């Protein structure tokens, strides 16, 4: 936050007369997870400071590629959440933070050595991270999230032999507590810095 004080020249020496206005700066940021980008899943997120130490965020990622029936990443997922920032004296959206999140994914197909397909999953839990300033308008943010993961059905298959996928098993109502998100975000502030 930046504080601007205006004092009329007629009351320049009067300490009781001043008008103070607070203007929010650096309170909106766009971000992308470089780990998703490297995996071929373009993504974008937005985060908004709503109080001095609290922010809300939302993000979306989409991928739909397959290489020779050997490698694939096909998914669309969206997430929302809130964060608490520990040091309000630092620049907003900078430093250590903890938060809560929710994540939803539509149909997915992930294949590397083995493959996994499903008609969707959801996850919710807690996150923690640190946002490091790189310049006046850019931060580098590291975060991890853990919580409960649930999918109604997941199909497991092996890498194809002679071009055919080999189904192994189908499991239903799979749920567990685990590490659910890892992010290395480039954060671009779309409002001016102090």
Number of alpha carbons in the 13 Å side-chain half-sphere of residue 104: 5
Residue of 16 and 33 predicted with greater confidence: 33
- Helix, strand or coil for residue 118? strand
Residue with token string 């098993």: 169
Fold exhibited by the domain 24-189:
Porin (2.40.160)
C-beta of residue 56 within 8 angstroms of C-beta of residue 79: no
Q: How, if at all, do strands 19-23 and 114-118 pair?
A: unpaired
The reply to whether the predicted model has a pTM over 0.85 is no
pLDDT in tens, 76-114: 999 999 999 998 776 888 999 999 999 999 888 888 777
pLDDT in tens, 24-55: 566 899 999 999 999 888 999 999 999 889 99
């Amino acid at each position: 936050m930046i504080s601007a004080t205006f004092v009329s020249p007629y009351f320049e020496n009067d300490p009781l007369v001043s008008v103070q206005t607070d203007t929010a700066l650096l309170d909106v940021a766009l971000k992308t997870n470089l780990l998703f980008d490297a995996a071929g899943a373009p993504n974008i997120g937005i985060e908004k400071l709503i109080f001095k130490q609290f922010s809300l965020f939302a993000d979306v990622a989409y991928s739909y590629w397959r290489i020779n029936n050997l490698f694939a990443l096909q998914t669309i997922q969206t997430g929302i959440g809130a964060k608490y920032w520990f040091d309000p004296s630092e620049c907003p959206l900078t430093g250590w933070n903890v938060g809560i999140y929710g994540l939803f994914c539509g149909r997915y197909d992930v294949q590397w050595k083995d493959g996994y397909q499903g008609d969707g999953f959801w996850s919710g839990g807690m996150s923690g991270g640190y946002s490091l300033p790189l310049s006046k308008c850019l931060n580098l943010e590291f975060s991890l999230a853990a919580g409960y993961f649930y999918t109604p059905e997941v199909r497991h298959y092996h890498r194809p032999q002679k071009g055919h996928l080999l189904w192994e098993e189908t499991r239903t109502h799979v749920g567990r507590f685990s590490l659910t998100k890892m992010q290395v975000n480039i954060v671009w502030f779309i409002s001016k810095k102090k």
